[in-house]
Each structure stands twice: as C-alpha cells, then as structure tokens.
Structure 1
Amino acid sequence: MRALLLSIGLVAIFAPAHAQSLEIVGYSGYLGEWELTATVTETAPGRKGYSGPLTMKHVGLCTQDGPEERTGEMHLELSASSSRLDATLSVAGVECSYSGRLSDFYTGTLACPDREAVPLKLWVK
C-alpha cells in the first residue's frame, strides 16, 4: 500500500502541468474588414507567452466569391498586469507586429513590412 501511494505521489509531482489556452477574436482594418480568430496555448506554463494557429477572414463588402481566408501563426506576450499585449502574426510568409493596450479590449496597430499600419482590436477570452 505504501509503495502504491509513493508511486501515485511521484507521478503527480512529475506529471506535466497543463498549459492554459486562450481564445483570441479581433478585427483589423479601418472598417474592421478582416476578422481574426486564434486559439493560443502557453509556451511555458506559468509565463505570459502564448502561441498557436490563427485565421484571418476578409468580411468586407467587396467579397464577391465568398470571404478570402488566410491562415498563419500567432505568438503573443501579455504584460504581468495584462494591460498590454504584444504579438507577432505570421501569415503567408509575412511577419507583422502588434502592440495593444487594454481598455474594454486591446487596441493598437498591426504593422507589416512595406505596408501602412492598420488598426487591430483584440478580445481575449
């Protein structure tokens, strides 16, 4: 019995911690014409870094053949107080950066090389 309890205790100590995941929803562009969704998971349990796949869908009025959809990867860091969010979005080989401050949602700009920075609003669930 003692050996069984010791084995259970050792398994509990050395079992991997479950990484927390977050759902990210947002809108990019001056008219919110791009919808962003992502599910990111902690890169190291207990830290404020997250990474995961993202999808951007063009939901503007000029979509004639259905919405254009792009997939990529999102890496983000939340400040210790969670009042600031910094992220890197990689879509179709283009890496863009984002920095946002929390009000009712995170608001900031998405900057991509050789393009004008555009507004991006993010909600974290």
Structure 2
Amino acid sequence: MRAVFLPIVLGSFASPASAESLEVVGYSGYLGEWELTATVTETGSGHMKEYSGPLTMKHIGVCTQDGPEEKTGEMRFQVSASSSQLNATVSVAGVECIYSGRLSDSYTGTMKCPDRQAVPLKLWLR
C-alpha cells in the first residue's frame, strides 16, 4: 500500500500548476454589430485575478459588402473575486480602449476609445 501511495504523492508535487484559461465572447456596438472572441490565460493570482490573451473582432453587421471585416489584437482584464466588476483594456490596431462592466447575465458596460464615442459591450466568460 505504501509503495503505491508514495509515487502518487510525489507525482502530484512534480506536476506544474497550470494557469486557468477562459474563452471570452462578446458583442459591441449599438446593434451588436461587432463580435468579439478571445482566449485568455490567467496571469495573476490572489484577490484580483488577471487574464490576457489574443482577441479577434469581426464585423457581423448587415452592411458588410466584401465579407466581414476582421481585426485582431489583445485583451487584458481583471476580475475581482469579491465584486461583480470586470475592468479591461482592449488593444486593436494600435488603439487602446478601456472597458468596465458589471455582471448580471453578462458583463455589461461601455468601451471607451480615444477620440471616439463610447459604445456598449457585453461579455461572457466561459
């Protein structure tokens, strides 16, 4: 019994702790015309969890003529364990936008980009 138990215990110490990954899905714009998808990995620990990773924004509105426009970038955000607030930075094509959303059925808030009007953004974390 002891010979079987010891390798299991030692094996559990040898395996590295893996960072948690999340899939982020969202819709931006007054009509939800931009679809946002990202796969983010946990980069911080403790009370405030931090995540970052690549994102894609695809224009899914009806006014596309040559197929959907697609932009890539990066998303970084923090989620507080004690509140229902998500604060994010979205960087696309050299433009850095700030997002703050509250959790209800989704994280709902606005994304503010320099020299542009703030737009609604809903996010779901899976």
**TM-score normalised per structure 1:** 0.88
Provide the secondary structure at the position in 1 that maps to 2:23.
Answer: strand
**CA–CA separation in structure 1 for the residues paired with 2:98 and 2:60:** 22
Correspondence 1:82-101 to 2 at 5 A: 83-101=84-102
Counterparts of 1:45 and 1:13 in 2: how far apart (Å)?
Answer: 19
1:78–1:86 Cα contact (<8 Å) kept: yes
1:28 maps to which residue? Answer: 28
Aligned-residue identity in percent = 73
- In structure 2, what residue type is equivalent to 1:18? S
Amino acid at match of 1:49: E
Q: Which amino acid aligns with 1:60?
A: G
Aligned residues between the structures: 122
SS at match of 1:65: coil
Verify the 8 A CA contact 1:43 1:50 in the aligned structure 2. Answer: yes
Query: Partner of 1:48: helix, strand, or coil?
Result: strand
What's the counterpart of residue 108 of structure 1?
109
Unaligned runs of 5+ residues in structure 1 are none
Runs of 4+ aligned structure 1 residues displaced above 2 Å come to: 11-16, 44-47
Q: Give the match for residue 48 of structure 1.
A: 49
What is the CA distance between 1:12 and its match in structure 2? 4.2
Q: More displaced, 107-116 or 15-24?
A: 15-24
RMSD of the TM alignment (CA)? 2.1
Q: Give 5+ residue unaligned stretches, structure 2.
A: none
Secondary structure in structure 2 of the residue aligned to 1:119? strand
